[in-house]
Structure formats: structure tokens, C-alpha cells
Amino acid sequence: MAETSKAGPSMTGQQGTGHSGTGQRGTAFRERVRGWLAEHAPGGDDHVPEASESAPTEQQLAAAKRFQAALFDAGLAGLTWPAEYGGQGLTAAELQIFQEEAAAYDLPTGVFLISMGMCGPTLVDLGTHEQKARYLPPLLRGEEIWCQLFSEPGAGSDVASLQTRAVRDGSGDWVVTGQKVWTSGAQYADFGALLARTNPDEAKHRGLTMFVVDMHAPGVTVRPLRDMTGSAPFNEVYFDDVRIPADAVIGEVDAGWAAAVTMLGHERVSIGGSVRRRYDPMTFDSLRDEARARGVAGDPVVRGELAELYAAERKLALLNARLRQQSDAGLAPGARGSVAKLAGAQVLWQAVRVAGLVVGPRAIAWEPGDPSGDALALAINATPASSIAGGTNQIQRGIIGDRVLGLPKEPQVDRDVPFRELRVGTQAR
Ligand SMILES: Cc1cc2nc3c(=O)[nH]c(=O)nc-3n(C[C@H](O)[C@H](O)[C@H](O)COP(=O)(O)OP(=O)(O)OC[C@H]3O[C@@H](n4cnc5c(N)ncnc54)[C@H](O)[C@@H]3O)c2cc1C
């Protein structure tokens, strides 16, 4: 995994440990954040879904953008990002304080998770000065939203097998043709971080390049895809001769794999550490309250499962706090992001088990007027996605085995074969 410069995800909505921010500076910052949130955080009924959760309405999106702009104006956006590009240049300690305070609210920041947890940090690491100056301030103000264009119908876990082509024309511009899939938030994104094949004569990991693509450019078509919760959080995206200027390359031409690994590291920390908000029905707090309300909190099996969930949430919080501290010390997440991502998915599955015990059959069919019935059913149906998005649990285990535990690598017989000769995707015939 790439060990690049420091840039942890500086989003809100991540879990804290409740033990940070000692010292005068921390106390003053906490008071400032607490005061600002008390005045500006929207009420609990205004939930705006995350990019991978479901599609927000236009009003929700507008409200999210207004809130992010206010956060930026208050000097509370991009806490650990460089001040030169609109960030605050603060440390992981302040970020953690912010997240601890924000956890008491249902802030409408989920639509920015990909922009601020993945694309932004990758630009901080690899972008040119011009790219950072152009893209990071509007991203932090919530004016421009980003999506991640990696997966394709024939390239998910093995994303290096992707077939979307970018070919340089006489003017130096690139012309992109191909299809992406499962692109969260593409329907309202302004820019995407696109991974495309620029040299099929190289082996599959070597001929890729990452680009900034304008999602409003001619030739970009976005079609929503519905998941089993009934909503359409992600999309198919088609590129038909889409022109991309030469200065839109992120990192180096044909070095897109390193850029992708950098972004995936940020993605895994960001997903693993994200969103156990107060109003989330799948947290220990919510499920304990639900158990009390339904009169099952005294059941020894429910109590045991709740205690296990509490312990798992605390362990995850401590793991994420450690990752943030490492990030602050200049250590990019690398393969450690896979541990956080896997642990985050496992905690959610544990919560599903508890939810099933607490609400029983009402998890799939509930009486009219039961306020938690549909929210819980939705959360339960959304949980399998957590084991797939951002790399499946099996893939995370493979990475952890190889790069964290030092176990032997999985055999990769196609690693040094020119991509053109591989039988993958539509090349398979
Ligand atoms: C909610 C959601 C949001 C998403 N958002 C985005 C997005 O914004 N942008 C984007 O680019 N992608 C996105 N994705 C796509 C996601 O990254 C892929 O779904 C994921 O990488 C798996 O790829 P796949 O679906 O093609 O499954 P496959 O790769 O076909 O995997 C199928 C099964 O085989 C297993 N498998 C495959 N290879 C191995 C191996 N080497 N060892 C062990 N098991 C293996 C997998 O674990 C899985 O169980 C999203 C997915 C979801 C569910």
C-alpha cells in the first residue's frame, strides 16, 4: 500500500472514543464546536441519507449544501486539510473532538462522504497545486460534490481489470469510452475521480491513469440503479467519447494504480470509521432504547448480545482513533484501512443480529404507526452493502493477510501479462 503524506478523512460523522481533547486548546475547541453545533445543527427529523445509503431529495441536497457552507464559514470544515486550500491545518485530535460532538446530531454531511473522505484526501496527496487550488475549496464548501468511478461490470474486486479506455488525441486531450457501475452519488456529482486504461500493452496494474472528470461534460450518461431497500443510491455511468483535458490527470499517466490504492486506503478508513450517529437505529444506544421500549431489555440473551455490541463499538472507536492519530503523525492509512473497513462491516452485522432479537418479526412487517419498524427494516436491508462497498470482506481479509500479517500473497498469474492479452470482461470471448 502507498505510504503517502498525511491526509486523514476530515469528514464529520465518524465515531470518537470520548477520551480526546484534553488540555486547554482541546477544551476551547470543544466548547467552540459544541456551541456552534447547538446553534446550527438541524433537528433530528431532517435526516439526509449518505451517498451509499439512498438518494437524497433535491431539498435534502440543498439543505446539506447550505449546512456544509455554514460549517466552512465557521472554520469547521476540512479540519486536517492544508490551510492553503481551504482547510484548517489542525490535527487529528481536533478532528476527533469535532466528531465526538457531532455524534450527538444527525448532521446532513453524508452526501459529502465520497468527496471529503476519499476524493479530497487523494487530491491532497497526489494533486498538483493547480488542482488543489481549483477543486478543494469548493469541495469543502459543499458547492461541488464528487463521486468515485472505479467499478465496472467486469471489474469490481479485481478493479485492475477495468476496460474503460482513455486515448490521447492530437490536441493532447484524452477521449474516454466505457462504462462504470455502482457509482454512488453520480446522479448529483459535479466531478468524478475516474480510473481508466491508458496503456493496454502494459500489465493490468501498470497501464491505468486516474483523471478528474466533469460529470456534466457531453457524453456522460448517468442511469440510477435500485437496490433491495427500494432506493437508488448508485448508478451506471456511461462515457461516450468524453473529452478530458491533459491537466486533469491525478498523479502520473499510467500510474493510476498507485492513485487508486491511495484512494482505497482513504475509502476504507472513511467507511470503517463512519457514521454511528445518534439517530442511527443500528447503534448500541438505539437498540438498547428499542429493547427497553419493547420490554425485552431484561432478556438474558438480548442483554448478552447488547453487551457484545457495546464492546465491539468501543473497540472500533479505539481502532479509528488510533488510525487518525497515525494519520496525524504523517502515516497514510494503507492496508490498516482494511482492518477498519472490515471491523466496521462486522459491527453492523452484529447490530443486525441484535435488532432481529429485539424487534423479532417486526423487522420485516410492522404495525401502522410503529415509528421504528420501517427505519429498522431499512437499516437491516442496507447492511449487506457494508460487506461489499469499498471492497468486499473477503478482499479486505486478503489484504490484511498479505500486507498486515505478512502471509504469503495470493497467486496472480496475470500480473505480468499485457492487459491486451488477458481474457477479462468483454475481452473474455
Ligand atoms: C452500496 C455500494 C456502493 C458502491 N459505491 C461504489 C462507488 O461509488 N464507486 C465504485 O467504483 N464502486 C462502488 N461500489 C462497487 C464495489 O466497490 C464493488 O461492488 C466491490 O468492489 C465488489 O465488486 P463486484 O460487485 O464486482 O463483486 P465481485 O468482484 O464479482 O465479487 C463477487 C464475490 O467474489 C468474491 N471474490 C472476488 N475476488 C475474490 C478474491 N480474490 N478472493 C476471495 N473472494 C473473492 C467477492 O468477495 C464477492 O463475494 C459500490 C458497491 C456497493 C454495494
- Report which secondary-structure segment, H or E, holds 344: helix 336-359
Provide block-wise average pLDDT over 10 residues at a time, the chain (429 residues): 32 37 82 96 67 76 95 96 96 88 88 95 97 98 98 95 96 96 97 98 96 98 92 95 98 97 85 57 91 95 97 92 80 81 93 92 79 78 90 94 92 91 76
pLDDT in tens, 36-80: 999 999 875 556 666 556 678 899 899 999 999 999 999 999 999
The CA distance from 116 to 266, in Å, is 10
Number of Cβ within 10 Å of residue 350's Cβ equals 18
Output the nine-digit C-alpha cell for 309.
455490541
Q: Atom of ligand 1 at shortest distance to CA of 398?
A: 42
The CA distance from 152 to 180, in Å, is 4
Query: Quick one: which of 229, 339, 204 has its CA closest to 273?
Result: 339
Output the nine-digit C-alpha cell for 234.
448508485
Q: Atom of ligand 1 at shortest distance to CA of 149?
A: 11
Query: Quick one: which of 402, 390, 413, 340 has its CA closest to 156?
Result: 390
Count of residues in the chain? 429
Sign of CA dihedral 356, 359, 361, 362: negative
The CA distance from 80 to 124, in Å, is 11
Mutate to test the pocket of ligand 1, among 222, 392, 394 (most ligand atoms within 8 A of CB): 392
Q: Looking at domain 148-255, which of 1.10.1750.10, 2.60.40.10, 2.30.30.90, 2.40.110.10 is its CATH number? A: 2.40.110.10
CA of 391 to the centre of ligand 1 (A): 5
Q: Atom of ligand 1 at shortest distance to CA of 151?
A: 11
Strand 191-197 to strand 146-149: parallel, antiparallel, or no bridges (unpaired)?
Answer: parallel
152 is catalytic: no
Q: Domain 24-144 falls in which CATH fold?
A: Butyryl-Coa Dehydrogenase, subunit A; domain 1 (1.10.540)
Output the nine-digit C-alpha cell for 335.
492496508
Query: Quick one: which of 182, 107, 111 has its CA closest to 388?
Result: 182
Backbone angles phi, psi at 387, to 5 degrees: -90, 0
Give me the pLDDT at residue 321, please.
84
Extents of the domains making up the chain: 24-144, 148-255, 261-404
Q: Cβ contacts of residue 247 below 8 Å, gap of 6+?
A: 128, 130, 131
pLDDT in tens, 305-345: 999 999 999 999 899 888 878 877 877 777 888 898 899 99
Say yes or no: CB of residue 164 within 6 Å of ligand 1: no
Number of Cβ within 10 Å of residue 24's Cβ equals 7
Which class in CATH covers the domain with range 261-404? Answer: mainly alpha
Quick check: 248 and 134 in contact, CB under 8 A?
no
